[in-house]
Amino acid sequence: MDVEALYREYGPMVMRRCRQLLKDEDEALDVMQDVFVQVLRRRDRLNDQYPSSLLYRIATNLSLNRIRDRRRRPETADDDLVYRLAILDENTLEQLGAASVLERLFAREQVSTRTMATLHYVDGLTLEETANEMGMSVSGVRKRLRTLRAHLQGLTDETESG
């Protein structure tokens, strides 16, 4: 299966389908690329007799998965704070005094909680994907992240009042 030829011929069709479902140009482009990555990974097992139908179906499924993931992971203010802290470089952390907040935050937590926070907030894995990576249940991951957010809120309240 010549994936490059499929991309040239059917890329616009796949992009239209993704754009139609996602209503977001950037997300549609990401999903379109994911479609062809999947085809590339599975090209030995896929039947290329009807490539347009195959690509349309993959684009639809991946787009619907993306929409479903959006609904499962609504962003909260606490999530945004954890994410912003997680992506800061060390110099910026020191300038903001955030390094000590992170050190104090993670000193209270298990090492695996820091890994979960990184997988979920920085790497963008869903709760289900994070749970699979950690070998835990989704509810266990959700509880740990909820506790982490509560501890972070407590630390930020302490920092603001003290």
For residue range 58-95, what is the model confidence (pLDDT) as tens digits? 999 998 888 877 665 545 555 555 655 555 545 554 55
Is pLDDT larger for residue 10 or for residue 43? 10
Task: Write down which residue in 24, 52, 72 finishes a domain.
Answer: 72
> Which of the four pLDDT bands, split at 50, 70 and 90, describes residue 98?
very low
Give the predicted TM-score (pTM) of the model. 0.46
Residues 35 and 82 in one domain: no
Same domain for 67 and 81?
no
Nearest to 110 by CA among 142, 84, 148: 148
With a cut of 70, say whether residue 136 has pLDDT above it: yes
> Of 55, 72, 89, which residue sits at a domain end?
72
Range of the domain at 117: 77-161
Assess whether 54 and 94 both reside in one domain: no
Q: What is the pLDDT of residue 93?
A: 47
Give me the chain's average pLDDT, please: 77
Give yes or no: residues 152 and 104 share one domain.
yes
With left for phi above 0 and alpha for psi between -120 and 50, is residue 23 left, alpha or beta? left
Please classify residue 63 by burial: count the beta carbons closer than 10 Å to its beta carbon, then call 0-12 exposed, 13-18 middle and 19+ buried: buried
Task: Clarify whether residues 113 and 39 are in a common domain.
Answer: no
Shared-domain flag, residues 54 and 108: no
Residue 116: is its pLDDT beyond 80?
yes
Clarify whether residues 154 and 83 are in a common domain. yes
The domain boundary residue, chosen from 21, 46, 72: 72
State residue 45's pLDDT score.
77
Contact 31, 59 (CB under 8 A): yes
3-40 pLDDT per residue, tens: 888 899 999 999 999 999 888 888 899 999 999 998 88
Tokens of 97: 């005094």
126 alpha carbon, distance to own chain's centre: 6
**CA 83, CA 77: separation in Å to the nearest integer?**
10
First to last CA, the chain: 64
Q: How many domains does the chain have?
A: 2
Confidence of residue 126 (pLDDT cuts 50, 70, 90): confident
Instruction: Specify whether 89 is located in the same domain as 145.
Output: yes
Q: Are residues 99 and 151 in the same domain?
A: yes
Helical packing angle, 51-72 and 25-42, nearest 10°: 120
Q: Are residues 62 and 12 in the same domain?
A: yes
Quick one: DSSP state of residue 76? -
The enclosing domain of 147 has a CATH number of 1.10.10
- Considering the domain architecture, whether residues 56 and 31 belong to the same structural domain is answered as yes
